């Protein structure tokens, strides 16, 4: 059974990804457009509307959601699921799969997850303030400390 990211999770992702109608190189070095869509070989985007960006986001989230469902064995509240989808959307499925964060969640050590989120604040070997903010927001959402989005 598939599980979908709720509005709170989508707001968090959209906030930290930002919207760009034109292609740009993200801090990770990927050609990107819309709300963090990594342009794949064969895709030809020069300019997209907010509506097209939303459509790409929903399609991209599907893969992050499936990864969280596949690799997290323990039950998750909606906020926990959404925070892990944001994490996976931003870093990729392999990052979730190999992370100590995943292991701690699967062992039920949820109270030890904050520092694990923060370990993933680097892009190309540099610690980035935007990623620190994002990981803190994901950690707070995971811990259910966020009841509404304030960035």
Predicted local confidence at residue 150, as pLDDT = 46
Respond yes or no: is residue 145 known to be catalytic: no
Does residue 87 fall inside a structural domain?
yes
Does residue 147 fall inside a structural domain?
no
Predicted local confidence at residue 46, as pLDDT = 87
Predicted local confidence at residue 144, as pLDDT = 84
Does residue 81 fall inside a structural domain?
yes
Residues in the chain predicted with pLDDT less than 70, given as ranges, are 145-151
Q: For residue 123, what are the β-bridge partners?
A: 126
Residue 73 has φ and ψ, to the nearest 5°, of -90, -20
Q: Of 17, 65, 116, 138, which is the active-site residue? A: 17
Q: Domain of 46: which CATH number? A: 1.10.530.40
pLDDT (tens digit per residue) in 32-74: 999 999 999 999 998 999 999 999 999 999 999 999 999 999 9
Respond yes or no: is residue 113 known to be catalytic: no
Predicted local confidence at residue 151, as pLDDT = 45
Q: How many domains does the chain have?
A: 1
Q: For residue 122, what are the β-bridge partners?
A: 127
Does residue 148 fall inside a structural domain?
no
Q: Which residue range(s) make up the domain with 111?
A: 7-142
Element (H, E) at 42: none
Cβ contacts of residue 20 below 8 Å, gap of 6+? 32, 33, 34
Does residue 43 fall inside a structural domain?
yes
Does residue 150 fall inside a structural domain?
no
């Amino acid at each position: 059974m598939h599980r979908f990211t709720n509005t709170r999770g989508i707001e968090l992702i959209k906030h930290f990804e930002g919207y760009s109608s034109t292609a740009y190189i993200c801090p990770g070095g990927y050609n990107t457009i819309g709300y963090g869509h990594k342009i794949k070989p064969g895709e030809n985007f020069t300019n997209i509307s907010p509506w097209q960006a939303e459509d790409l986001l929903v399609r991209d989230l599907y893969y992050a959601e499936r990864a969280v469902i596949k690799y997290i064995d323990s039950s998750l509240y909606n906020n926990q699921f959404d925070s892990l989808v944001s994490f996976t959307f931003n870093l990729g499925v392999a990052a979730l799969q190999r992370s100590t964060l995943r292991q701690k969640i699967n062992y039920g050590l949820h109270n030890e997850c904050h520092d694990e989120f923060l370990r993933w604040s680097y892009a190309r070997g540099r610690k980035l303030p935007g990623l620190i903010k994002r990981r803190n927001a994901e950690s707070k959402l995971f811990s259910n400390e966020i009841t509404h989005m304030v960035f």
